[in-house]
A and B are shown apart, each in its own frame.
Chain A
Amino acid sequence: MSEKQLSKLFGLENSHQIDVYIEQDGYRAVKKALSELTPETILDLVKAANLRGRGGAGFPAGIKWGFVPKGVDKPKYLCVNADEGEPGTIKDRYLMTNVPHLLLEGIIITCYCVGIHVAYIYIRGEYEMVAQRLEQAIAEAHAQGYLGNNILESGFDLEVYVHRGAGAYICGEETALLESLEGKRGNPRLKPPFPASIGLFQCPTVINNVETLANVPSIILKGAGWFCQQGLPKDGGTRLFGVSGMVQKPGVYELPTGSNLRDLIFQHAGGMKEGKRLKAVIPGGMSSPVLKADEIDIPLDGDSLMEAKSMLGSGAVIVIDEETSMLDVLKIITDFYSHESCGQCTPCRVGNPWIRKIVHRLCQGIGGPDDIDNVRRLADNIMGKTLCPLGDAAAMPILSLTEKFREELITSLNERRQES
């Protein structure tokens, strides 16, 4: 049935080097695309494959590329989102470290399809070694004629540049990323206009996550039907799940979209650590609403998690055990979003720090159940009222956690009051 496409070469020695990569059938997809396929065919293929974005929002990639207007005389850009800021997310680092050329292949084909001649990889500032690998891979690809002018004699030109971020989570939000890339403060832009029409330097721009693009070569080589079979008809391919927390074998696992969350934790990741019992799972990065232990028999795809009022997000599965206090989890969540709010819009700028102050107080045993209600009320006043999705990303986990673990929060609060 399903094969590993993305992580196939993980662990192979020097898989990041172009010779090793080519030995393993690398760059065949680029050759095929540039010599046999037209941009229109590629667009149809990617649409038919139902490749959904792996960065968090799950938007179909083919449809996004189709939004780029044709026949405008401005340059167009591809921005690869390698900011990987969502807490718990580690997959893009694995991809870029092990198979940077797979990403480059995806970039080349995407740019060929959309008519783009300049691509930027915006990479998380802390990923210094990974950025060096990318630079090296780009140099190798240049030397072998996969980048630069007239790639493989096809007449198609492309340059790829690596740009390192400076450590702000918000710069992973696509429009803040564009601002940052332009050299400005990383504040999200008001939409519309959308980046597909007015993006980087006011030009049409496609923004995709690293993993999304890394899926493109196999669609070219094996077809849309095959890709859909790897996952679900409406949500094709495999996904890299980054499992962290109280499991035996934390790490990155490539599974078909739609695999069961319980299996991921208890089979692939080896189950809970010795003597620990499962309490809760955050299934798609910190922004996604938490699932209780009895809610994890669920297929890991966007629609199923949405039905369970959560999100597949970036596929970062955070496993929480019985001994971890949900009040502490709440504190970690609200610390993070207060710190990372860009400060541009009122509800997020003031609401998150306000919630944080209350939660910190509760952690010291000061306050009562009313405070939890007030936290919920404030999160509700943030939800749906902010300029960018960070507001919702902060409110959703807070709302779900305070709903599902209200009793536990009150118990912890009372215990801490007695201790202090």
Chain B
Amino acid sequence: MVKIRIDDRELEVQEGITIFNAASEAGIPIPHFCYHPAFVPEGTCRMCLVEIEGVPKLELACSTVVRDGMIVSTQSDRVRDGRKGVLEFLLAEHPLDCPICDQAGDCKLQDYYEDYGLYESQFSEVKDKHDKKVDLGKHLIHDQERCVLCRRCVRFLCEVTGTEDLGVFERGSHTEVNLYLDNQVDNNYSGNLAQICPVGAITDKDFRFQTRSWFLEEAESICPLCSRGCSIQIGYHPGFSRFSLPKRVYRIRAKTNETVNGYWICDLGRYGYRYLDENRATNLKARDSQSRIQWDAAVTLLSEKIKRLYYMKRTSRITVILNSALTNEELYLAGKIFQKDLTDVNIFFADAAPESGDDVLLTSERTPNRRGALELGFDLKPVDMDILSSQTDLVIIFGTHILETHSLSDLSNAMENIPAKFVLAPHTSDLDPMVDMVLPSTHIAEKAGSLTNIDGLVQSFQSALHPLGESQAEWQVLVDLGKELAINFKFYGQFSNPKNINREMGKEVPFFGK
């Protein structure tokens, strides 16, 4: 540890770290463009200037390592003038098209101009022209006039994906970032470029001109599309329901999570957000009823049907199809009800089929909680169609993934003679006409709980969005069902949120008690 002073703060910091990192740890902001914690500092934007006592020149915070006794000033007049000079250069040839720029409101050039600029422009020359619409590939557009040449994008493609599609060409005022030959940026991580570009130079085709960033709110969640469990940030319009806007969710971005995904997410997770709002099941539907049903009536009906079989000692004729996109807490409750209380229920899992992963983040398991299901003792058996067709009197299907592995005709043949059929799923699907009742549920972004990723890391999360329409989280439905069944009422009576379910689960399953 070394002792340093930054402005008025006496700090004790790790030896060998940079002034920038020491300042960040202490919450002292330092303006920067080229520095990004994922990469070795390159020191090219020159925005992070600081003054070090006894050093004649201004130095770079991003690349200067702390020394014991160092006295650093981040706000002296010299520092402010230095930064202002750099910013003036960055803005001199900049097109100043903020009114039509997606980055506006979220842009370091704007932020720092508020902090350090606020000068009258002294640039009275004709600005250089560059290409404003370079198509970089499937998801991205590059505006060379807005580019500050921080090389974050270039470094990302060298160091993270290794695809090296972008390079720096020409020099001096002609310097530009561009594609090598006829390359395209079309790897599964390309969307990160729009996110790490500190200005509006790389924009996301999916987000371009859709909304203004200041209309959006951001909430954290976990990506459910593979078993990595990347932290995500969902940008949504809070006034969606009131203003009948075309979209609720406008974008998903990576949320920094050092232990899981670092600073990135894959394009599958980034652009896969449509599942959040498209084809949603928003109302309870019962086949033989024209009038609307309420949740409590639906749960009572379900529980009555289960109880009848239970009293007849025929629970072996109940089939439950779970999935590993359910949270640990939900799977724990399902296990409790269907395995412990009702004893010999048939339990199967229907999940999205595995696909090939890569060695960055994406795993081949396209479901977020396989590991959690295993730790809870499920054997993740796939659906046995014989049992479904000839040994089932009541089926509850969680989710709609079964449609990915079985044909519609096989399913409808198998289910034809089952007297009681229920679906509990976030999306409408071809299952709906086959069953007696469709119960709308939520997905990960609309609920709280925890997931166990491929490495066995249990990550809890809060709900980011309100459940759409009448949809309810599965844990809530299972708690209500448990209470209604009244086999073990007291046990379910104690649960009012995923947290207390989690606590109980930790007592019972040592893996979750850690």
A binding-site residues for B, Cβ under 8 Å: 168, 170, 185, 190, 338-347, 349-354, 357-358, 361, 374, 377, 381, 384-387
Contacts and interface: CB of A to CB of B under 8 A. Distances in A.
B208 interface: no
Interface string B43-67: 1111101000000011000010000
A358 B86 contact: no
Contact of B89 (A338, A339, A340, A346): A346
A349 B175 contact: yes
B170 A343 contact: yes
B42 interface: yes
B89 A347 contact: yes
B232 interface: no
B42 A350 contact: no
Given A190-B42, A381-B85, A349 B57 contact: no
Contact of B172 (A343, A347, A377, A381): A343
Nearest to B173: A353
Contact of A352 (B45, B63, B172): B172
Nearest to A186: B171
Given A346-B86, A347-B89, A384-B58, A354 B170 contact: no
Q: How large is the interface on B (under 10, 10 to 19, 20 to 34, 35 or more residues)?
A: 20 to 34
22 contacts: A185-B168, A190-B63, A341-B173, A342-B172, A343-B170, A343-B174, A344-B175, A346-B46, A346-B47, A346-B148, A347-B85, A349-B149, A351-B89, A352-B172, A353-B172, A354-B92, A377-B122, A381-B85, A381-B88, A381-B89, A385-B58, A385-B85
A342 B168 CA distance: 10
A289 to B, nearest CB: 18
Nearest to A373: B122
Interface string B66-97: 00000000000000001001101110110000
A107 B465 CA distance: 70
A384 B55 CA distance: 12
Contacts of A350: 89-90, 92-93, 173
A177 to B, nearest CB: 15
B125 A361 contact: yes
Contact of A345 (B44, B122, B170): B44
A384 B88 CA distance: 16
B44 A385 contact: no
A78 B440 CA distance: 73
A346 B45 contact: yes
Nearest to B151: A344
Interface in B219-275: none
A343 B178 CA distance: 14
A344 B173 contact: no
A345 B86 CA distance: 10
Most buried by B among A190, A338, A339, A361: A190
A343 B171 contact: yes
Secondary structure call for the B interface: loop
A338 B122 contact: no
Given A343-B174, A345-B45, 16 more contacts: A190-B63, A340-B172, A342-B172, A343-B170, A345-B44, A346-B90, A349-B89, A349-B175, A350-B173, A352-B173, A354-B93, A381-B86, A381-B88, A384-B58, A385-B86, A387-B46
Given A185-B168, A343-B175, A374 B122 contact: yes
Interface string B86-116: 1011101100000000000000000000000
B171 A385 contact: no
A347 B46 contact: yes
Given A384-B57, A384-B58, A344 B44 contact: yes
B173 A190 contact: no
A352 B89 CA distance: 10
Given A350-B93, A352-B172, A353-B173, A385 B82 contact: yes
B467 interface: no
B198 to A, nearest CB: 13
Contacts of A384: 57-58
Shortest 5 CB-CB contacts between residues of A and residues of B:
A343-B175, A381-B85, A353-B173, A350-B89, A357-B125
A143 to B, nearest CB: 41
A382 B58 CA distance: 12
B43 to A, nearest CB: 4
B125 A386 contact: no
Nearest to A170: B171
A9 B187 CA distance: 62
Contacts of A347: 46, 85-86, 89
Contacts of B57: 384-385
Most buried by B among A340, A342, A357: A357
B85 A387 contact: no
A352 B88 CA distance: 13
A386 B90 CA distance: 14
Contacts of A338: 172-173
Most buried by A among B46, B49, B90: B46
Interface string B344-356: 0000000000000
